[in-house]
């Protein structure tokens, strides 16, 4: 028998028909869901967040590009790109960037720009600030950065990315 949270409505993010209360851990879990989900539970209510493996390419060459499991909330993406989030999409992937990079002094991100161009997306301008690459999931959801994009980044930047 499922215990439904009283304050989680069907039209709110994080609502799942398979959301049940796990009696062993006293946390909220989902069943039969293709997403990788983590459970963050506050005193008041549980918040379900989708977790994906993102390719993160910092603008500064002194910082390594990396694969990091992130929750795909807007707040996390804003933290990673250091401001408002803009996106460019192509085929089975998209990249999140700071959408105000032309107006604030963010460093150019030559590695992200090269990867975007080599992956097939034609750019009119330059890329600045940290770039966060993710894949397209079903129904407009986020997914892990595609393997072909990770392999391309490894070849272009002569680095090994551990997934």
DSSP string, 77-110: HHHHHTSSEEEEEETTEEEEEETTTTTTTPPB-H
Looking at the structure of the chain, the number of domains it has is: 1
**Residue 40: is its pLDDT beyond 90?**
no
**Residue 137: is its pLDDT beyond 70?**
yes
Cα distance between residue 114 and residue 126, in whole Å: 10
Domain that holds residue 79: 52-157
Residue 102 domain flag:
yes
**Residue 21: is its pLDDT beyond 80?**
no
Residue 118 domain flag:
yes
Nearest alpha-carbon partner for 101 in 119, 91, 116, 113: 113
Those residues whose C-beta lies under 8 Å from the C-beta of residue 1, and which sit 6 or more positions away, are none
Structure tokens at 39: 């459970």
- Among 37-41, 44-48, 65-69, the range of highest mean pLDDT: 65-69
Structure tokens at 67: 């694969």
Residue 72 domain flag:
yes
Residue 109 domain flag:
yes
Residue 89 domain flag:
yes
Contact 79, 73 (CB under 8 A): no
Residue 22 domain flag:
no
pLDDT for 71-128, tens place per residue?
989 999 999 999 999 999 999 999 999 999 878 889 999 999 999 999 999 998 899 9
Beta bridge partners, 53, equal 69
Those residues whose C-beta lies under 8 Å from the C-beta of residue 81, and which sit 6 or more positions away, are 96, 97, 98, 129, 130, 131, 132
């Amino acid at each position: 028998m499922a215990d439904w949270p009283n304050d989680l409505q069907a039209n709110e993010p994080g609502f799942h028909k398979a959301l049940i209360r796990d009696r062993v851990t006293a946390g909220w879990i989902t069943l039969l869901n293709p997403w990788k989900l983590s459970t963050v539970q506050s005193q008041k209510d549980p918040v379900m967040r989708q977790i994906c493996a993102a390719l993160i390419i910092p603008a500064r060459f002194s910082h390594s590009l990396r694969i990091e499991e992130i929750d795909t909330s807007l707040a996390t993406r804003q933290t990673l790109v250091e401001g408002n989030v803009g996106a460019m999409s192509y085929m089975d992937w998209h990249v999140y960037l700071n959408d105000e990079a032309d107006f604030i002094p963010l460093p150019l991100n030559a590695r992200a720009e090269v990867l975007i161009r080599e992956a097939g997306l034609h750019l009119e301008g330059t890329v600045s600030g940290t770039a966060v690459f993710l894949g397209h999931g079903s129904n407009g959801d986020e997914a892990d950065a595609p393997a072909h994009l990770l392999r391309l980044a490894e070849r272009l930047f002569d680095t090994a990315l551990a997934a």
